[in-house]
Chain A
Amino acid sequence: MHTASSEASTPSVTAKSRNLRWRVVDIVVASVIGVATGLLFLFWNNVGYAWFSAADALTPGLGGVAVGIWLIGGVLGGLIIRKPGAALFVELLAAIVSALIGNQWGIETIYSGLAQGLGAELVFALLAYRRFGLLPAMLAGAAAGAAAWTLELFVSGNLAKSAEFLGLYFATVVISGALLAGLLGWLIVRGLAATGALSRFAAGQDVAQRV
């Protein structure tokens, strides 16, 4: 229901004043969302990694179910800012914050952020930065998960692991990306729009027009 209405109203807003150039407020808000997401990662680096390890101990590859939260930056950035590069910028900045403040993976977090942000960005770019409903959000989350899986083939040495592991890990990461990043990110953006904090953005104006 909400998907339909927000998707239907997007073209009317963007057709009126579709400006893909970044305003200063876009840059600052994207940066702040990136930093806030980075702090969320710091929390998830403990809670989520515990979940990841527990699930992975149960069945190797099942740990992917916890990955989604680490992919949420791209979805949030893409859905709120709605400009080319926003998803990549937010996810990358979040990864940099997570690495700078300190986590168990160090500087390699930044490569993960780059890959995951590119995955989400690709979906928004393929939709020509015109669709920002629930389905694009979930697709972006899933694509970020697929990109993370691809990167980990190399940097985490997953290439040497068995095909069953890789298949199971891919499925769980993609599903987790669609739900924990896509669906949750979409819900967060809707909640934020309801507070009125996004009124200077198309994401907030969609909600305002619906009332």
Chain B
Amino acid sequence: MSAGGGVLPAGGDHAASGALDPFAAHRSRRPARFLSALNPIAKLAAPLPVMVLVMFSRGIAVPLAFVVFAAAVLLVGARLPGRAVAALLLGTPVAALVLGVTFGVWIDPSSVTGEPAASVTLVSIGDWSFSLAAYLVGLATALRILAILLLSLIAGVTSTGPEFVRSMVQNLRVPYRLGYTALAALRFVPRFGHELEIIRAAHRVRGTDAGRGPVAAVRRALGYAVPLLASAIRHAERVALAMDARAFGAHPTRTERYRSPWRARDTVFVACFLAASAVIAWLTWGR
């Protein structure tokens, strides 16, 4: 997802990209489609009841309808790069068909013997056979998962991590001490990479050799874990000291650089999304 690249600059180039205002770049880069202009909470809240509905649905019709619906909302509402559009339009059906096989194989055959499609055998190896009914159950499962994935992408592809945190703090009353500290901690990621290089070099300089192969790789990784965490905690204590010195969290409220208001259009989006979902569910339920 493109948000990741903006939030977490890779490696050493974060000094360049964050020179003036690290958020300025992707605020101006996004030309408006309606999803980008909405509050992230609206994009998170509206699909949530639909996801629960899909989770408890049976059969192919309901999840299939919501896969199409979510894909349509994404295509209309978000300006996706060409590759993402291709992945959405081609990858989704392929994923549904392939996942249908992998889920269908593990279906308990006795649970589908009553179905008429159970007599249609697709593949049989020895006395194990893969019936059409099992494939249909697997396909329904795959479609449910894809529907939930696409519904969560509505929020995922059109808002960045900082935007989520801001609206959680401003609209959902998440304590700002937690929200903004977590946001600050996300910026530690490039630092960890640097720290890991130092610890690796230190191990190498001391001639530490765990050997070769996967078991040694796991042991080596565990050997990095404690020094990496210790140095991270020491760094965190310094950051906490600096924040305490600047009276972070001293007051119950704080000023905001960017406002994240809940506007009328957010209410309209949630209402329309839920209304459309209700109509789709009513038309397809039980089919």
* A interface with B by C-beta (< 8 Å): 22-25, 27-29, 31-36, 39-40, 43, 47, 60, 89, 93, 96-97, 100-102, 106-108, 154-157, 160-163, 165, 188, 191-192, 195, 197-198, 200
- Tell me the nearest residue of chain B to A111, going by C-beta: B152
B145 touches A197 (CB 8 A): no
- A-B pairs under 8 A by CB, number: 142
* B interface with A by C-beta (< 8 Å): 1, 3-4, 7-8, 55, 103, 106-108, 111, 137, 141-142, 144-145, 148-149, 152-153, 155-156, 161, 177-178, 181-182, 184-186, 188-189, 192, 214, 217-218, 221, 225-237, 239-241, 243-244, 248-249
A29 touches B141 (CB 8 A): no
In the complex, A67→B129 CA distance in Å? 31
- Tell me the nearest residue of chain B to A161, going by C-beta: B106
- Tell me the nearest residue of chain B to A105, going by C-beta: B149
A101 touches B234 (CB 8 A): no
When distances are taken between beta carbons in the complex, the residues of chain B under 8 Å from A200 are 237
B108 touches A36 (CB 8 A): no
A93 touches B106 (CB 8 A): no
A31 touches B184 (CB 8 A): yes
In the complex, A154→B3 CA distance in Å? 27
Main secondary structure, interface of A, reads helix
Q: How far is the CB of B77 from chain A (nearest CB, A)?
A: 17
A160 touches B182 (CB 8 A): no
A100 touches B243 (CB 8 A): no
B141 touches A28 (CB 8 A): no
6 CB < 8 A contacts A-B? A32-B188, A35-B189, A100-B186, A106-B153, A188-B226, A197-B230
When distances are taken between beta carbons in the complex, the residues of chain A under 8 Å from B1 are 100, 102, 106
- Tell me the nearest residue of chain A to B157, going by C-beta: A107
- Tell me the nearest residue of chain B to A61, going by C-beta: B106
